[in-house]
Homo-oligomer: A and B are copies of this chain.
């Protein structure tokens, strides 16, 4: 199910510097994920990880319009959100490796990664599990009387969870500043959403009176302009919104899912043509705001930073044994 009824803007009001920053941020996520994959395949990362490759435009486009004190809640596929909101590479890799220098002191790992200082309330291992939390953050904003906004990222699979509907109803009732962002990458694990989601995705929000749009999640300019719209609206008391961002998980469900028998290589190739990095490169080139050399330099700089961060994490110490009993209670 791929739905669009959304905003299309050309981002003409923003300058090249802005888009190159966005580009760099997307490259940073891409490189981070490649490195995470490499850490997994070389058996240097414990557990598994769910890569965000292919979906970068959503996190970056959304977070570009957020302030540092705005909140996000994230998912099992949460590295991209965490970086886009402003987390540092080194402490993220440290967390992935279970080191004390990690954002969660090694207690969270990939699936619970978060940098609270940049407003990330946490990745979540429970599909849909953060819908209530984001809504509660919205409630808190309203009660505290600030003009923050909370963005709840979740996958198309989370549309199966009743909590989402309970939450949207209350957000709409109380006009909470919460943006529900469905990253519709077509699959939940190994099952296409045509088998799991009846009706219309957008209709599931409009039924509760929630403003809803379906947009192209590969085009960061569209994501950005739509985000600008609904975030400003929410910030000004206009209430929640629901975005379905159509996208694709370029890799498997997690780092260990490499055969992907549940989908065709043709489908993957079709979507590969709509790589969010490439789309932005093309537009910037076409509009002569940047050229290949600029992209290359950015990629190299990012790669250097990622390599350094990986090394930092690999060399960082594990937590001491006593850490295991800390932080059960505050």
**CB of A196 closer than 8 Å to a CB of B:** yes
Give the interface centre of A163, A165, A199, A205 by most chain B CB atoms within 10 Å.
A165
A204/B208 in contact, CB under 8 A: yes
Residues of B within 8 A of A209 (CB): 198-200, 203
User: Do A199 and B206 touch (CB < 8 A)?
Assistant: yes
Contacts of A289 in B (CB 8 A): none
Q: A160-B166, A166-B162 are in contact. Are A200 and B196 (CB under 8 A)?
A: no
Please, what's the 1-or-0 string for A194-229, where 1 marks a CB less than 8 Å from any CB in chain B?
A: 011111101111111110000000000000000000
Q: Which single member of B162, B202, B206, B210 contacts A165 (CB below 8 Å)?
A: B162
Residues of B within 8 A of A166 (CB): 160-162
Q: Does A164 contact B (CB under 8 A)?
A: yes
Which residues in B have their C-beta under 8 angstroms from that of A206?
A: 199, 203, 207
What residue in chain B is nearest A205 (Cβ atoms)?
A: B207
Number of interface residues of A (CB under 8 A): 28
> Is A299's beta carbon under 8 Å from chain B?
no
Instruction: Find out whether the CB atom of B208 lies under 8 angstroms from the CB atom of A199.
Output: yes
Give the complex CA separation of A95 and B196 in angstroms. Answer: 41
A172 beta carbon closer than 8 Å to chain B:
yes
- The answer on a CB contact under 8 Å between A173 and B195 is yes
User: A169 an interface residue at 8 Å Cβ cutoff?
Assistant: yes
The answer to whether A207 and B210 have CB atoms under 8 Å apart is no
> A172 near B198 (CB under 8 angstroms)?
yes
Looking at the assembled complex, report how far the CB atom of A196 sits from the nearest CB atom of chain B, in whole angstroms.
Answer: 7
Q: List B contacts of A199 (CB < 8 A).
A: 169, 172, 206-210
A328 to chain B, nearest CB (A): 29
| Given known A-B contacts A165-B165, A166-B160, A166-B162, A207 and B203 have beta carbons under 8 A apart | yes
- A165-205: which have CB < 8 Å to B? 165-166, 168-170, 172-173, 195-200, 202-205
- Chain B residues with CB under 8 Å of A170's CB are 198
Q: Across the interface, do A162 and B163 meet the contact criterion of CB distance under 8 Å? A: yes
